[in-house]
Structure 1
Amino acid sequence: MQHRIRGMPRLLSQLFQRKPVGELIRELNAGDRLHRRLGPIELMSLGVGATIGTGLYVSTGIVARDIAGPSIMLSFLLAALGCGFAAMCYSELASMVPVAGSAYTYAYATLGELVAWIIGWDLILEYAIGSCYVANSWSNYFDSFLQHVFHIRLDPRFLSPPWDFDFRTESFVEQIVTLADGSRVMAWFNLPAVAITALITVVLVVGIKESAGFNAAMVLVNVGVVLTVIGVGAAYVNPDNWHPFLHEETKSRGIALGAARIFIAYIGFDSISTHAEEARRPQRDLALGILGALLVCTILYVGTAAVLTGMIPYKDIDKAAPLASALQSKGLTFAGGLVTLGILAGMTSSLLVGNLSQPRVLMAMARDGLLPTSFFADVHPRFKTPWKSTILVGLVVALGGALAPLSFLADLVSIGTLFAFVIVSAAVWILRVTDPGVERPFRVPFAPFVSAMGVLVNGGLMFSLGRDNWIRLFAWLAVGLCIYFLYSRRHSLLAGRLLAETGGTVAAEVPEPVSPD
C-alpha cells in the first residue's frame, strides 16, 4: 500500500518521480515498436561480439605492460567478479522490464527521473566513447594486417589522431609520426576509423536481423582467433616470464588498478539489455544471453592473458598490437597475419554492437520526452530501426575515432561502465522493496548480498581509477545536467502527466517499507 505526502515542491517531486514498472510494460504494445527477432543465441552473440574486442586486443597489452604484469590474469577475474554481480542484476531487471533503454530504464523505474537522466547520459558516454576507442584501435590492426600479409604500408599521417594524451603530465601533446623518407611530421587523422564506422552505420540502418547476422559471422571468426592464440601460443609459453607475477612498480595496487583499467573489456554484456525490446522471449532469453556471454568471455580472457604474458616478458609487450606482435616475435608470421584478420573481425563486431546499442538508449530517453522525440525516437518505416540516431551516432564515432587520443578514451569508458553497474546493482534491491509484486521471470539469488556486492566491488574499482577520471566523469555529468534542466525537465512526458493529474499541485508517492521476498 502507498500513501501520498502533499506539499512537496513541484521541482523536487518531479526530479524523483518514478516511472511505474506497470506503465513500462504497458508501453510494450503501444506505438511504433522494434521487431522481436532475436533469440538467446543471437543475444549471446551480440554480447560476446561487443565484449571481445579492443578491451582484449589492445587494453590487455597496455595494462599488462604498465600496470599489472602477469597478474593481469587476476585483474580479469576481479573485474569478472564485479561484472558477475552486475550481470545477475541486469538479468532480473531485463526480464522484468523487456524494453529498450538498459540501465536508464531501470533507474527510471526505481530511483526517479533525475537519476535516470544521469545514468542515461552516462550510457551515452560509455557507448559513444567506447565505440570511438574501438574505431581508433581498429586502424592499428588494419595497418598491421596490410603490412604483414600484403606488404602495403599506409601513410602514417592517416593512421593516428593529431594529438596524444600524456598521463604523466596530464596534458595533450602533438602526435608525431615517421614517414617513409625518415622525416617526422604531425599526424592528420585516423582514416581507417572513419571508413569502418561508415560501413558499420550502413549495416545498422538496414535492420536488426541483418546486423545480428553480420555480427554472428564476425563472432565466429573472433572466437576462433582467440582459441587459435591460446592454442598456438601455449606451445611457446615460458613459465619464467610469469616471474615476477606482480608488476614491479605497482605491486601494492596492480591487480585492483589493472581490473579497473581493463574493465573496458567487459562493457559488452550489458549491451544485451538494450535489445530487450527486440528479444523474442525476453523473460528467458535475456538472462541466458547476459550470463552466457559473461562466462564465455571471462574464460577466453584469462586464457589469452596467461598465454600473452607467458610468451614474452610483460615489459616487451607491444601495446599497439600485443597479440599479433607476440606471435610474430616467435616467427609465426602467417599465424600473426591470420590472427590480425580475426582480430579485425572481432573489433568490427564490437564496434557494430556499440553503435547498435547507443541509438536504443537515445530512443528510450526520447520516448520519455527527455530528448527530441521526432529525431531520436523516429523508427524507419521499412527497416524498423532508429535510423536518424544511428546515423548521428555514426558521425560522432567517426569524428571521435579520427581525432581523439586512444589512451585518453579508455579510462572514460571504464568509469562510465562501472557507474552504470553500481546503479543497476542498487536498483534490484530497491525494486524488491518498492515493487515486490512484479513478476520476476529471472530472480537474483541471495539478492541483498549480490546487490550489495555489486555496488561495493564496482564502486571500489571506480575509486581505483583515481581523481582525474572522477573529474572527467563529473564534467561530463555536469554538461548532461545543464541539458536536463534547460530542455529535458520541461519536456518530460511523465512530469506533464503528473502536473495534469494534480492540477498543478504535485503529490509525491512514498511507498511504505515492504519486506523483500
Structure 2
Amino acid sequence: MSIWRLKPVSAFEADMKKSDLNRVLTKWGLTSLGIGAIIGGGIFTLTGIAAHDYAGPALALSFVIAGIGCLFASLCYAEFASVLPVEGSAYAYAYGTVGEIFAWFIGWNLILEYMMGATTVAVAWSGYFVKLLHLFGIDFPLWLCNDLATATEKAAKLGEEAPSFAFNLPAFLITWVVTWILVKGIKEAAKTNNIIVIIKIAVVLFVIIVGAFYIKTENWQPFIPEAKSVMIDGVEKISFGYGGVLTAATIVFFAYIGFDAVSTQAGEAINPKKDVPFAIVASLVICTVLYILVSLVLTGMVKYDMLDKSAPVASAFSENGISWAVFIITLAATAGLTSVMLVMMLGQTRIFLGMAKDGLLPGFFKTLHPKFKTPHKSTFLVGGIISLVAAFTPIDKVSEMCSMGTLLAFAMVCIAVMILRYKKPELERPYRTPAVYLVGTLGVLFNLFLMYFVRIDTWKAFIVWGTLGIIVYFVYGKRKSNLNNLPE
C-alpha cells in the first residue's frame, strides 16, 4: 500500500497485449500529430513579442536555445516510448520508475497541459476565426464571440454599451466539431490532422520563401541589440543582449508545447517501440527548423522594433505591399489552431484512459465505443468541459497554468529515464538516449530554469491545484489502484 510502489514492466506489457485500441498510426502519421500539436497560432504571435521586446533579430538564436532545451526532454521521452509504448505518456513513465504518488501527480498536472491548453486554444481559434470572417466583410456581435469580461472590455474601448450577457459561440462550436472527430476514431482524427498540417506547413513555407525576397539585411543590424533593463508587467526584465535572448527563449519555448502528445498515441501506433521515438524527435526538429527560418525572414522584412506584436507575420507582409497574404496567413493560423486543439484533446483522453486502466480513475474513463474503439464517454466529458469553460471564462492568465503542467512533466521524465537506466539496465531499449545522465540532467535544469520565470500568482494557483490532486489521490486513487491486487 506504499505510495512509492511501482507498476511492474510486466504489467505494462500485459496492458499492451490486451488493448482494444485500433493500431493504425504509422511513423509519419505520428510525426504529423506532433507537428500538428507544435505549429499553431504561436508562430504567428509569439514571434512578434519576443523579437520586439527581448531578442531583436537574435530571435533565431532564442528558437535554437528553446529547441535544444526541448530536445533534451524529447530524447528522454523517446527512450521511454521505446521501453513502455503505452498511452499514458509521462504519467506511465513515472509509474514504472519513480512511484505511484509521483505518477498520479504528473497525470493530474497533465490536465493543465492538455485540457487547459485545449481551452485556451479554443478561445484563440475563435479570435482568428472572427478575424478571418471580418476579412470577408462578416462581423460577429461582441457578445457572441467573447466571454462577458472580454466583451465588456472591448465595448468600452469602442465606446459601445457593455452587454449584459456574452457567449463565445465559435469557441463552443469548434470544441464540439473536434470532439465529434475524435469520437469517430483515431483514423479519422489522423486524416483530419494530416490535411490541416499540410495546409499550415504550406503556408509556413510560403512565408519563408516569399518573405525571403523582401529581406533587407540592414534590418538584421545589430543582430543582438545592446542590453537594457525594462519594466514589463511590473517586473524588471532584461531586454536585448544575451540576457534578452535567453528571456525570449523562455517565451518561445511555449510554442513547442505539445510534442509530448505523440507519446500518448503509443497505444494506437502500428510499431510503437520504433515509430513513437522517431516521431517525437522528428516533429521537434522539423518545427525548430521552420521556426528559425520564419524568425529570420520576419526580422529581415521589418526592423525588429517596428514589428506589430499582435500580428507580426501578417503586418510584415502588409508593410511590404503584399496585403493579399493576410488572408492566407489568417487562414493558416485558424487551421493551425484546429489541429493543436485536436491533438491536445486526443492526448488528454488517452492519459485518462491509462489512469483508469490502472484503477486510479473510475472505469468510466476507459470505456471504449463498440464500433469506433475510442474512449467516447471520456471524450464527450472532456469536450463538454472545454466547450463551456471556453464559452464563458476569460482565460488570458490561465494559459500559464498549462505551461506549469508541461514543465513539470518534462522535468520528471528526464529524472525518470535516468532512474530506469540505473535500476533496470537489462531492459530492451530499441532507442537509447545518448549520454543519458548528461542529457537528463540538462533537461531537468532547463525546465526548472523556465519555471523560475513563471509569475508568482501562477505558482500559487499551481500549488492549490496540486494540493487538490493529492487529496483526490488519497481519497480515491490509492484505495482503488490495481496494484492493491498484485501479490506481494
The alignment's TM-score, normalised by the length of structure 2, stands at: 0.92
Per the TM alignment, residue 82 of structure 1 is displaced from its structure 2 partner at its CA by 1.2
Per the TM alignment, residue 395 of structure 1 is displaced from its structure 2 partner at its CA by 1.6
Per the TM alignment, residue 107 of structure 1 is displaced from its structure 2 partner at its CA by 0.3
1:22 match: secondary structure:
helix
Tell whether 2:320 aligns with 1:330.
Answer: yes
Tell whether 2:76 aligns with 1:89.
Answer: yes
67, 76, 96: which one aligns with 1:109: 96
Per the TM alignment, residue 78 of structure 1 is displaced from its structure 2 partner at its CA by 1.5
Q: C-alpha distance in 1, partners of 2:458/2:54?
A: 16
Q: 1:66 to 1:139 in 2, by over 3 A?
A: farther
Per the TM alignment, residue 179 of structure 1 is displaced from its structure 2 partner at its CA by 9.0
Q: C-alpha distance in 2, partners of 1:476/1:262?
A: 25
Match of 1:461 in 2: 450
Match of 1:158 in 2: 144
Q: C-alpha distance in 1, partners of 2:246/2:148?
A: 32
Tell whether 2:154 aligns with 1:177.
Answer: yes
User: Which stretch of structure 1 is more off in the superposition, 139-148 or 319-328?
Assistant: 319-328
Match of 2:113 in 1: 126
> Which amino acid counterpart does residue 260 of structure 2 have in structure 1?
D
Per the TM alignment, residue 466 of structure 1 is displaced from its structure 2 partner at its CA by 4.2
Q: C-alpha distance in 2, partners of 1:196/1:322?
A: 25
Q: C-alpha distance in 1, partners of 2:309/2:381?
A: 31
Unaligned segments of structure 2, at least 5 residues: 231-237
Q: C-alpha distance in 1, partners of 2:250/2:463?
A: 18
Give aligned-pair identity as a percent: 43
- 1:420-473 CA-to-partner distances (Å, cap 9, x unmatched) read 111111111100111111110101111111111111112212212243332222
Equivalent pair of 1:157/1:177 in contact (CA under 8 Å): no
Q: C-alpha distance in 2, partners of 1:398/1:76?
A: 32
Equivalent pair of 1:17/1:112 in contact (CA under 8 Å): yes
Q: 1:318 to 1:297 in 2, by over 3 A?
A: same
Q: 1:239 to 1:137 in 2, by over 3 A?
A: farther
**What pairs up with 1:317-356 in 2 under 5 angstroms?**
317-356=307-346
Match of 1:507 in 2: none
Q: 1:210 to 1:432 in 2, by over 3 A?
A: same
1:163 match: secondary structure:
helix
Tell whether 2:288 aligns with 1:311.
Answer: no
Q: C-alpha distance in 1, partners of 2:474/2:108?
A: 13
Equivalent pair of 1:155/1:179 in contact (CA under 8 Å): no
113, 122, 127: which one aligns with 1:135: 122
Equivalent pair of 1:225/1:343 in contact (CA under 8 Å): no
Per the TM alignment, residue 94 of structure 1 is displaced from its structure 2 partner at its CA by 0.5
Equivalent pair of 2:41/2:334 in contact (CA under 8 Å): no
> Which amino acid counterpart does residue 338 of structure 1 have in structure 2?
I
Q: 1:397 to 1:318 in 2, by over 3 A?
A: farther
Tell whether 2:433 aligns with 1:438.
Answer: no
Q: C-alpha distance in 1, partners of 2:161/2:249?
A: 36
Unaligned segments of structure 1, at least 5 residues: 1-9, 165-173, 503-517
Equivalent pair of 1:378/1:386 in contact (CA under 8 Å): yes
Q: 1:408 to 1:309 in 2, by over 3 A?
A: farther
User: Which stretch of structure 1 is more off in the superposition, 66-75 or 436-445?
Assistant: 66-75
Q: C-alpha distance in 1, partners of 2:395/2:313?
A: 18
Tell whether 2:245 aligns with 1:258.
Answer: no
Q: C-alpha distance in 2, partners of 1:353/1:418?
A: 18
Per the TM alignment, residue 203 of structure 1 is displaced from its structure 2 partner at its CA by 0.5
**What pairs up with 1:214-229 in 2 under 5 angstroms?**
214-229=192-207
Report the RMSD for the aligned CA atoms in angstroms: 2.2
Equivalent pair of 1:52/1:265 in contact (CA under 8 Å): yes
Per the TM alignment, residue 285 of structure 1 is displaced from its structure 2 partner at its CA by 0.7
